[in-house]
Chain A
Amino acid sequence: MDTESKKKTSDVCPGSKDKALGLNEVKQKLTEARGPKYWRTLDELAQTPEFEEMLHREFPRHASEWTDKASRRDFLKVMSASLALAGLSACTKQPLEPIVPYVRQPEQLTLGKPLFFASAMPMGAYSVPVLVESHEGRPTKIEGNPQHPATLGGTDVYSQSSVLTMYDPDRSQSAMFNGEARPWADFVTAIRPTIEKVRANGGAGLRFLTGATSSPSFVAHMRELQKAFPQSKWYQWEPVNRDNVYAGAAAAFGQPVETVYDFSKAKVVLSLDGDFLTSGFPGFHRYARQFAAQRRPELKEQMLRFYAVESTPTNTGGKADHRLRLKASEIENFARAVASQLGVGGAGGSLSGEQQKFAQAVVKDLQANRGRAVVVVGDSQPAAVHALAHAMNAALGAAGQTVFHTDPIDANAGAGKVDQLKTLVGEMNTGNIELLVMMGVNPMYDAPADVNFLDAMNKVATRVHHGLYFDETAKFCHWHLNGTHYLESWGDVRAFDGTVSLIQPLIAPLYGGRSEYELVSVFLNQPDMSTFEVVQRYWQSQPGAGDFNTWWRSALHDGFIRDTALPRRTVAATGAVPPPQPTQGGGFELAFRRDPTVYDGRFANNGWLQETPKPMTQITWDNPVLLSVATAKKLGVATESVLEIEVEGRKVKGAVWVTPGHPDDAATVYLGYGRDNAGRVGSGLGFNAYKLRASGTPWIVTNAKVRGTGETYQLASPQGHQSMEGRALVRAATLEEFIKNPAFAHEMAEAPAPGLTLYEAYEYKEHKWGMAIDQNSCIGCKTCVVACQAENNIPVVGKLEVKRGRHMNWLRVDTYHEGTAENPKTYFQPVPCMHCENAPCEVVCPVNATVHSTEGLNDMVYNRCVGTRYCSNNCPYKVRRFNFLLYTDWTTPQLKLLNNPDVTVRSRGVMEKCTFCVQRITHGRIAAEEQNRKVADGEVLTACQQACPADAIVFGDMNDKDSRVSKLKASTRNYGLLEDLNTRPRTTYLAAVRNPNPELES
């Protein structure tokens, strides 16, 4: 990078050493920091070596501070540390504190009580309906919306972490012209002549590039704009797109339709790389809930059976009863074979013995369950496979039973995203484009490698970029306009079933951003029209039910607009299936995947997501190159050795992660890493897989070359060891065994009788809290981990500290493999604190910092803790986390606003751990007591439980015999982890039960 661009990348949080806490103070600081003054200081700063160092640092700032060499930052940290320690120690004199009342207090606000607002988080064309918790105007936590038909209250890692992105100090702070901060007004005046110029010839020189959208009001707004500029064009680009899905549907039905599954009626599911249990798959939330419900072994023979044919091992495949590992390119062949055996799709491909056996069993099972079978295909599979799946589903009578079709959610599903981008680039290259406006896209980073977007851009006279970050694309634009986060602005968006949610702002734009709507309004000569007006005007124009205001209020209150789900359509399968394409040169195969945590890279600067161990691999802060054990051996590489991957002359280097269950002679690379301008957290992590990705082969490359470089690169995984060492940790059986012996779990380890202890037993008069986790339901998606982090102010420690074994997550999802490295069984085990009845940690703490509460909780008293770490040593579950250094950011004002005020912010030298969300218990109890009643079952939900899309975690009062948790604990599958140690954990597990097909079990 040239120093010029460095200065731009360094558009970091101004006033980040600010101590003020009030929202207003913070905002003021930020405004002060903007403008010439700030830039002067930055330029000065740019000379200093620390500054250079900060730009070049390999690890994000949260991490880099923990390297042993003390730096300038450290000193500031230390200063604030002493402050923090004072806060926690209680043996220092308290400084005087101001208290600042409102001038006019909003009616619905009660100081000290949070408010919840319904909204929705857009993800491309789809969305996650949410309830946002707000404390005195600060959004602090995202919850699912249980009323919403599309998600049934589930969330995912992206929505849970979105609140951090909103406060992200690295977001761009102002509009910029050639990297110079300018007020928005300047842009409006400056762009005026250009607009008039393009208006002259009907907008022929005007192009818009946005992400995929389903927002009715925004689409309407754009249409209006296109009326004003008839010649202008609006293209959409998504690096992780559904082109294949719509193309497949078009092939099968003659039109691109949306495909929606209903697993609640399913008995047999065949997935062809269809990762419908992985965050980011449209419909993930509802599918996870329905799938888990159908997987209850209590259903006996009716229990759902799941066959997964997978290339890259995903947590979806981990839940499969039978998993066939195939190269991504071989799956089409397999699909054709199955299809032909089902009597559709013409000639079938030829299969190897093993595959043939698998296929036959699957076919038999599918046919045996006509009307209750589903074939699910992943977005990364070619259109042909989707077409085949539609044919198969039709043949299996699934259509109308377990598979439904609606009009596409994506407002512009007709043309593929890749084609749209290429068309745009073609037009740009003609040099006739005067003005290019890019909103929420980053093609300079994620455009296909064979599309030279930079050259094309240089042929465009005026380039405008609108987005949350001053990113790779913004760098090359004349104007960058800082956008608004969905928590900061109005809007609307559809869920995967079409239901529209209104997006309402929880807070005024923290960094003074402007929404896309406002940008478009500028072109409509209505620069002062607010987003709210645009959105409301659109819905007023719609045929609403009765009085608009009541309608509007109820829509806002519910978080969705009733009866806006797209009508189900019956489409006739044409039966036409594209013929097999000859795959180019059978070289080494490469599969591209969206990253399970940072998605396509848009969340790269989110520390929570970076530190969330990725499902299956458990890697944090990086994107590995996945190889099978055999292939790694063949290439003479091992985990952490650097591999050079070459595709048509384009080369990247990435670190290997040897992965059980990965197909041989193939590698998987994840998109979304190797960013230059993501921010201080996300820049410079991993490698950029987009460099290998060509427009023709977006998901699968079959002519790659790989070679070990002999270098090594450290990958940080909090779970280095994924074998159970023959210990009965996750207890599992087959359905057959379970039906024969429902209590199998108890015969796998002895559980000492209660009372085998020298201390007298506790008695619980009021409540007796407990948790039950169904390992059959858990899909290992990690949503609970992020939810816990958000709820409990858990700090981000950075890659280096994770590598050192100091990650702070209170709740982890242990992932174990069992069986062969080629085709292992996988188990997910969420491990929070067990709140043991005989807690080993309690007796060894010298200062009573961890004690047994009268409701059975194992309290952790931070202010009492002196940090001997004895409790952690003595905890057999190793759920305790220690602040070895000052991990919490006590200096960045925005991040202080993010904190949950009901949970103590921990400082250095203090042990912490899962509290069963004691703050929620307390609130629930107090609320109940004030109404002179007992806490009702389900009134107190832990953060992990509330976030779980699969409803795998149940918390409640074990004294109440009718509570859900008591019922689950009464189940024969219920057992305690390491219960033979006589710790008597009150978090217990329901044993996993698989439902294998006897024909394949051998």
Chain B
Amino acid sequence: MEESQEIKDSVRLERLLPGQTPVLVPGHSFGTVTDKIVGIVLRRPVTLGWLVGFAIVFGLLNLLGLAVVYLVFRGTGIWGINVPVGWGFAIINFVWWVGIGHAGTLISAILLLLKQNWRNSINRFAEAMTLFAVACAAIFPLIHTGRPWLAAYWLFPYPNTMGMWPQFRSPLIWDVFAVSTYATISALFWFIGLLPDLATFRDTAKNPWARKIYGLLSMGWRGSARHWKRYESAYLLLAGLATPLVLSVHTVVSFDFAVSIIPGWHATIFPPYFVAGAIYSGFAMVLVLAIPIRAFYGVKDMITDRHLDNAAKVMLGTGLIVAYGYGMELFFAWYSGNGFERFMMKNRMFGPYAWAYWSLIIFNVLIPQVLWLRKVRLSPVRLFMTSIVVLIGMWLERFVIVVTSLHRDFLPSSWGHYVATRWDWATYIGTLGLFLTAMFLFIRVMPMITIFEMRMLLPESRVAPEEVAAHD
């Protein structure tokens, strides 16, 4: 019972620095918190704004469907890829989405272990965001292959009448395992965290169907002390499991590049620099979602400026690590003395794709420096803009890594050029559609903020040690 004990303590012993907004604006009680969050889903009517937004993103989702169907019928040739540039948007998007998928688990798991109680109000939708982002990412490794139906079969070769197995020396296989594990753990983590709230929904819902569905989902949660004890340990165990994954997934993804021999890919800095970049873009996406949501659903009192401030700080930190990564690439190219490496770097900065490199530097390194200013961190609008910039920057980073490294490698005779086709764009925008559609639905039917964890932030929840002792 110590862990839960510690958590409670941490909550109780919260100290506000001067001028710091609390993670939960005072004036709330158990009742009001529950009432407010439940109300968003169960009582609030479907607004026109929601409908319009949903219509748009759902349209984009269908674009994805179209793009994928056409792809299956015609082949990957509908994209701009070629030899030498064998990977294009598909892999860029994959890495980008997986990266975004990092924030959620980081917030819910690592911050939990670090007892950052401010996480409580944003972890729920951050996790949801993670799941949807990973879902978007997971599409690409499959559809980017020439024969997806076989890729799926031979990476999981059952039933196997061939006496042949996948090749475990290939980073692509590691990828499959890393990402699928991550997806599974995140899903479990998210679902377990949902149980108590789903129960709350079951109990407060009027609509019999809603009661049934939430009832089924809450898996018979009654909130007994035994349930809570199990819950606490399970949740912590999963947090423990998820934490290394946060680091491992993008490390493995970075191996796809680092393990190869292509100048610009073959770099030891990749794992840390990819992980940092992932968290960087992840938090940017959290802010991009949090800022409008808290405005539309009037939950500024639960997702306070304090959260924005902290998220911004994380971005700033990881952003600096990424910047260091860029610096190192440059240094390696020079220090290695390898002609191919040097040429690659020169080509990135002054070659046909120089525009991508320099805008990446501006978007990812220069602009985010405004986050040093408290003024910016506390202004939702400015923060929103910065986050968008970072998201674009991180996408460009992957573009630069994939395309500029490939299009001019060892033999000048085989140099080429990569131009994305409209199908490349359709697929990319389509996944944005998938992501947002899922987000819209999630907000409508699930508690986007953890009710019970919010309650733990209330003074009332601060039980005295003797009571705790009495419980055991």
Chains A and B come from one and the same complex: yes
Binding site for B on A (CB under 8 A): 66, 68, 70, 74, 78, 81, 85, 89-91, 719-727, 729, 801, 804-806, 812, 814-816, 829, 831, 840, 843-848, 864-870, 872-874, 876-878, 880-886, 908-911, 978, 981
**Contact in complex: A68, B155 (CB < 8 Å):** no
**A868-B146, A870-B260, A886-B75 known, 17 other contacts, Cβ within 8 Å:** A70-B74, A89-B150, A91-B150, A719-B414, A721-B412, A721-B413, A727-B412, A831-B411, A844-B170, A846-B155, A869-B146, A873-B260, A878-B410, A878-B411, A881-B83, A882-B86, A884-B77
Task: Give, as a whole number of angstroms, the nearest-CB distance from A904 to chain B.
Answer: 15
**Lowest 8 A-B CB distances belong to which pairs?**
A867-B146, A909-B146, A884-B77, A869-B86, A885-B77, A805-B82, A878-B414, A814-B413
Complex Cα–Cα for A911 and B146 (A)? 9
- B75 partner residues in chain A, CB cutoff 8 A: 81, 883-886, 908-909
Contacts of B169 in A (CB 8 A): 843-844
Chain B residues numbered 48-78 whose CB sits less than 8 Å from any CB in chain A:
73-78
CB-based contact B146/A89 at 8 Å: no
Select from chain A the residue with minimum beta-carbon distance to B174.
Answer: A846
- Which residues of the partner chain B approach A831 to less than 8 Å between Cβ atoms? 411, 413
B422 lies within 8 A of A68 (CB): yes
Given contacts A725-B343, A873-B406, contact A68 B413 (CB under 8 A): no
Contact A909 B145 (CB under 8 A): yes
Contact A840 B260 (CB under 8 A): yes
Q: Tell me the bound Cα distance from A882 to B416 in angstroms.
A: 15
CA distance A869 to B418 in the complex (A): 15
- Say whether A869 contacts B81, CB under 8 Å: yes
From B77, B155, B173, B261, A806 is in contact (CB under 8 Å) with B77
Quick one: closest A residue to B152, CB to CB? Answer: A866
- Complex Cα distance, B75 from A910, in Å, reads 10
Complex CA distance for A873 and B260, rounded to whole angstroms:
9
Report Cα–Cα, A333/B297, bound state, in Å. 90
Question: Is A873's CB under 8 angstroms from B87's CB?
Answer: yes
Q: Which of B146, B148, B410, B417 contacts A882 (CB 8 A)?
A: B146
**Contact (Cβ within 8 A) A847 B154:** yes
What's the nearest-Cβ distance from chain B to residue A37, in Å?
A: 33
Q: Indicate if B153 sits at the interface (CB-CB under 8 A).
A: yes
A726 to B339: give the CA distance in the assembly, Å.
10
Q: Which of B74, B260, B417 has the most CB of A within 10 A?
A: B74
B334 to chain A, nearest CB (A): 18
Selected A-B contacts with CB under 8 Å, 23 pairs: A68-B78, A78-B74, A91-B150, A719-B414, A720-B416, A724-B412, A726-B339, A727-B410, A805-B416, A806-B82, A812-B413, A840-B261, A847-B167, A864-B164, A868-B144, A868-B151, A873-B86, A877-B414, A880-B83, A882-B83, A883-B146, A885-B75, A909-B146
Of the candidates B153, B410, B413, the one having the most CB atoms from chain A within 10 angstroms of its own CB is B413
> Distance in Å from the Cβ of A727 to the closest Cβ of chain B?
7
Known: A805-B417, A868-B151, A873-B406. A725 touches B412 (CB 8 A): yes
Cα of A508 to Cα of B164 in the assembled complex, Å: 46
> In the complex, A721→B407 CA distance in Å?
12
Q: Residues on B close to A: CB < 8 A? A: 73-78, 80-87, 144-151, 153-155, 162, 164-167, 169-173, 176, 256, 259-262, 339, 343, 406, 409-417, 421-423
Query: A806 to chain B: which residues have CB within 8 Å?
Result: 77, 82-83
> Which chain A residues border B410 with CB–CB below 8 Å?
727, 876-878, 978, 981
Asked if residues B146 and A844 are in contact (CB atoms below 8 Å), the reply is no
Do A866 and B151 touch (CB < 8 A)? Answer: yes
Q: A814-B411, A847-B154 are in contact. Are A870 and B147 (CB under 8 A)?
A: no
Contact between B422 and A844 (Cβ–Cβ < 8 Å)? Answer: no
Least CB distance from A1001 to B in Å reads 26
A814 CB contacts on chain B under 8 angstroms:
411, 413
A726 to B83, CA, bound (A): 23
In angstroms, how far is the closest chain A Cβ from the Cβ of B63? 16
Mostly, the B contact residues are: loop
**Contact A816-B86, Cβ < 8 Å, known A68-B423, A844-B259, A864-B154:** no
Q: How many Cβ-Cβ contacts under 8 Å join chain A to chain B?
A: 178
Chain B residue with minimal CB distance to A867?
Answer: B146
CB <8 Å contact, A846 and B167? yes
B83 near A805: Cβ-Cβ < 8 Å: yes
Complex Cα distance, B209 from A727, in Å, reads 72
The minimal Cβ–Cβ distance linking B400 to chain A, given in whole angstroms, is: 15
Q: Name the distance in Å between A80's Cβ and chain B's nearest Cβ.
A: 12
Which residues of A are found within 8 Å of B149, using beta-carbon distances? Answer: 89, 91
Q: Determine how close the nearest CB of chain A comes to the CB of B73; give it in whole angstroms.
A: 5
CB distance from B175 to the nearest CB of A (A): 8
Supposing A840-B260, A876-B261, A884-B77 touch, asked if A867 and B411 sit within 8 A by C-beta, the answer is no
Closest CB in chain A relative to B265 CB, distance in Å: 8
A847's contact among B87, B155, B417, by CB below 8 Å, is which? B155
Q: Tell me the complex Cα distance, A877–B80, Å.
A: 21
Residues of chain A lying within 8 A (CB to CB) of residue B416:
720, 805
- Verify B82–A804 contact, CB threshold 8 A: yes
Q: A91-B153, A805-B84, A843-B170 are in contact. Are A866 and B147 (CB under 8 A)?
A: yes
- Chain B residues within an 8 Å CB radius of A872: 83-84, 86
Find out whether the CB atom of A884 lies under 8 angstroms from the CB atom of B422.
Answer: no
Q: Which residues of A contact B421 (CB under 8 A)?
A: 68
> For the complex, what is the distance from the CA of A28 to the CA of B170, rounded to whole Å?
51
CB distance from B22 to the nearest CB of A (A): 50
A241 to B256, CA, bound (A): 58
Contact partner, B409, options A66, A723, A876, Cβ 8 Å: A876
Instruction: Chain B residues near A880: list those with CB within 8 A.
Output: 83
Query: Which of B76, B256, B422 gathers the greatest number of chain A CB atoms within 10 Å?
Result: B76
Q: Which of A89, A864, A884 has the most CB of B within 10 A?
A: A884
Residue contact A720 to B415, C-beta cutoff 8 Å: yes
| Distance, CA A812 to CA B414, complexed state (A) | 10
CB < 8 Å neighbour of A910 from B147, B154, B339: B147
| B170 / chain A contacts, CB cutoff of 8 Å | 843-846, 870
B333 to chain A, nearest CB (A): 16
A429 → B minimal CB distance (Å):
53
Which chain B positions have C-beta within 8 A of A722? 412-413
Partner of A867 from the list B147, B153, B164, B173 (CB cut-off 8 Å) is B147
Establish whether residues B411 and A877, one from each chain, have CB atoms under 8 Å apart when the complex forms.
yes
CB neighbours (8 Å) of A883 from chain B are: 75, 146
Q: How far is the CA of A882 from the CA of B173 in the complex (A)?
A: 21
Query: Is A78 a contact of B76 with CB atoms below 8 Å?
Result: no
B55 to chain A, nearest CB (A): 28
Q: Given the complex of chains A and B, what is the CA–CA distance between A877 and B77 in angstroms?
A: 22
Cβ-closest chain B residue relative to A801: B77
CB-CB nearest in chain A for B73: A78
Q: Which residues of B contact A74 (CB under 8 A)?
A: 74
The distance in angstroms between the C-alpha atoms of A292 and B233, with both chains bound, is 80
Q: Which residues of B contact A68 (CB under 8 A)?
A: 78, 421-423
Which of A89, A723, A981 is within 8 Å of B261, CB to CB? A981
Closest Cβ of chain B to A818, distance in Å, is 12
Report the nearest A residue to B416, measured CB to CB.
A805
Min CB–CB distance A188 → chain B (angstroms) = 50
Chain A positions within 8 Å of B409 at CB level: 876, 878
Please, how many angstroms separate the alpha-carbon atoms of A880 and B409 in the complex?
A: 14
Residue of B nearest to A92 (CB): B149
Q: Are B84 and A867 in contact (CB under 8 A)?
A: no
Chain A nearest CB from B216 CB (Å) reads 37
User: Given the complex, which residues of B lie within 8 Å of A874, measured CB to CB?
Assistant: 260-262
User: From B422, which residue of chain A is reached at the shortest CB distance?
Assistant: A68
Complex CA gap A727/B342 in Å reads 13
Query: Inside 8 A of A70's CB, which chain B residues have their CB?
Result: 74
Q: How many Å lie between the Cα of A864 and that of B145 in the bound state?
A: 13
Residue in A78, A723, A846 whose Cβ sees the most chain B Cβ within 10 Å: A846
- Hey, which chain A residues are within 8 Å of B81, CB to CB? 869, 884
**Which residue of A is nearest B169, CB measured?**
A843
Shortest C-beta distance, A806 to chain B (Å), equals 5
In the bound assembly, the distance between CA atoms of A935 and B304 in angstroms comes to 80
Q: B412 near A866 (CB under 8 angstroms)? A: no
Q: Taking the nearest CB of chain B, how far is it from the CB of A852, in angstroms?
A: 12
